[in-house]
């Protein structure tokens, strides 16, 4: 028998520490490879850490609530002398890797991109005997699925989300039944975000490579042909309640709340943002009557069956249109763009992003989080509605992965859901702008020269004045307001 010590890995985010939230196995338990053993909270999210070994858990190196540095001992497992670890040559993002210690930890959301079991990449000794090839996918059964009636689509579609068909899906092209799926890492990431199983698609690229267009076509086809089950309902997390981890001091009559993980990261980010970026906030009140009427009509369309259509969808679409018209708003201030190189002289630069990774601020159980919709500008309204619903549901259920919380380029915060008219949002660090959506309510309004009651909303745009001057900020906010006032403007500007 051999005792193997397992150290806390870098969870793929370059983080330096994590807090132990909950042990999922106890000392003396028999564990298997990839069995989740412990939940840890990083500055990004709560992650389950699976076991790289099979055997008996003989020691845990930290109690719940303990903060461990990356590389510190986490647990010890007693294994049989003939036991081997599990290794893979594929990183969590779907790209090839050579196993560089405990530097990559695939999450459950990565499983949708390729058929494999999440493992700790590169953990343990690498020997010829322990290296294992990924098994080929078994052939797809030839028999049709028995359903109430046929559903015809333009291509082979299978999603990981709640898409249910009432009959067999007839496709116009072949479906992969074995062998590796050919798709670039960005396409795999897009498929995971949209809940599409790449293995069921027929690629239109060279040698059957699956492209972005193939993934987007699959989402559109599924939305048009199959009703979507409503996402599971979940009560909103309580606001302002003393958390369970707090301790009470009878001497001072105060509760002491530990600041860890996500809340600590949020606090540091807000201080850094306010300290580094000169904030300016502009406000706009707009007539949203036409948008609310459009929402009711869109919600009745079969493509949106089972999706809760909220004003946030229209505001997000309006912001994406405004960014397309004024791309400088989708940018960051980089203080030392040369990374210390002498030829750069330490001069700052403004980096303008080609893609809009749209962040959505959500109040989760552990505090404010900002999951992102990558390359949101390429999504149609149906795809954007799916992405918004999926992210907010996952955030409120505390099911976000670290990958969901990185790479944002511009953010929306919806304070209106709490009944607040508007606020002055703080920039997400590294971004040039954040749009706040206030409550939508009936108010007196002058419409076509007459005083009447209309549905009105307030918007606020905070921006980094180093990058965005008043003219640009005003133009972006005015464009968002124009689309909300008259949704048909989006057709002219798309």
**CB contact at 8 A, 40 and 46:** yes
* Separation of CA 169 from chain center: 29
Angle between helices 311-325 and 470-485 (to 10 degrees): 140
**From the candidates 279, 326, 351, 465, which is the catalytic residue?**
465
Tokens 């909103």 -> residue: 236
Bridge partners, 76 (sequence order):
5, 59
Long-range contacts of 229-237 (CB under 8 A, 24+ apart): 229/162, 229/163, 229/164, 229/306, 230/162, 230/306, 230/308, 231/162, 231/306, 231/308, 231/389, 231/390, 231/393, 232/393, 234/393, 234/396, 234/397, 236/363, 236/396, 237/363, 237/364, 237/365, 237/396
CB atoms < 10 A from the CB of 246, how many? 12
CA angle 29–32–35, rounded 5-degree value: 90
256 annotated active-site: no
Q: Which residue in 186, 476, 211 sits closest to 327, CA to CA?
A: 476
**CA 457/CA 230 separation, integer angstroms:** 27
CB atoms < 10 A from the CB of 491, how many? 9
SS3 434: strand
* Residues taking part in catalysis: 465
């Amino acid at each position: 028998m051999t005792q193997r010590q397992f150290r806390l890995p870098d969870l793929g985010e370059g983080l330096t520490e994590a807090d132990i939230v909950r042990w999922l196995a106890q000392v003396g338990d028999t564990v298997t490879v990839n069995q989740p053993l412990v939940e840890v909270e990083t500055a990004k999210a709560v992650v389950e850490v699976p076991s790289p070994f099979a055997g008996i858990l003989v020691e845990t190196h930290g109690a719940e609530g303990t903060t461990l540095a990356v590389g510190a001992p986490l647990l010890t497992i007693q294994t049989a002398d003939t036991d081997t670890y599990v290794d893979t040559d594929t990183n969590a993002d779907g790209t090839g890797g050579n196993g560089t210690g405990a530097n990559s930890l695939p999450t459950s959301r990565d499983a949708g991109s390729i058929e494999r079991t999440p493992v700790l990449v590169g953990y343990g000794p690498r020997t010829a005997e322990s290296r294992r090839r990924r098994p080929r996918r078994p052939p797809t059964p030839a028999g049709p699925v028995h359903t109430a009636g046929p559903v015809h689509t333009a291509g082979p579609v299978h999603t990981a989300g709640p898409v249910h068909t009432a009959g067999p899906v007839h496709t116009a092209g072949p479906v992969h039944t074995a062998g590796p799926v050919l798709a670039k890492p960005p396409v795999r990431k897009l498929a995971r975000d949209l809940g599409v199983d790449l293995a069921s698609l027929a690629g239109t690229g060279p040698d059957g490579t699956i492209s972005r267009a193939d993934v987007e076509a699959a989402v559109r086809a599924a939305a048009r042909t199959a009703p979507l089950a409503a996402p599971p309902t979940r009560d909103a997390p309580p606001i302002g309640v003393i958390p369970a981890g707090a301790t009470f001091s009878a001497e001072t009559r105060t509760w002491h709340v530990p600041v860890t993980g996500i809340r600590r990261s949020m606090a540091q980010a807000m201080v850094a943002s306010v300290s580094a970026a000169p904030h300016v906030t502009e406000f706009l009140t707009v007539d949203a009557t036409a948008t609310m009427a459009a929402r009711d009509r869109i919600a009745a369309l079969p493509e949106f069956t089972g999706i809760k259509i909220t004003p946030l969808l229209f505001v997000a679409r309006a912001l994406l249109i405004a960014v397309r018209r004024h791309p400088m708003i989708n940018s960051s201030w980089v203080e030392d763009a040369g990374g210390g190189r002498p030829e750069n002289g330490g001069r700052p630069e403004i980096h303008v992003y080609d893609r809009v990774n749209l962040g959505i601020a959500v109040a989760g159980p552990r505090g404010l989080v900002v999951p992102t919709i990558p390359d949101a500008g390429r999504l149609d309204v149906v795809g954007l509605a799916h992405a918004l619903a999926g992210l907010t549901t996952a955030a409120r259920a505390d099911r976000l992965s670290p990958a969901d919380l990185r790479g944002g380029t511009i953010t929306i915060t919806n304070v209106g859901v709490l009944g607040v008219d508007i606020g002055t949002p703080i920039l997400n660090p590294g971004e040039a702008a954040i749009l706040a959506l206030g409550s939508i309510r009936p108010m007196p309004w002058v419409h076509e020269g007459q005083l009447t009651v209309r549905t009105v909303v307030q918007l606020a745009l905070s921006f980094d004045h180093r990058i965005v001057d008043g003219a640009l900020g005003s133009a972006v906010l005015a464009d968002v307001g124009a689309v909300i006032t008259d949704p048909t403007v989006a057709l002219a500007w798309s």
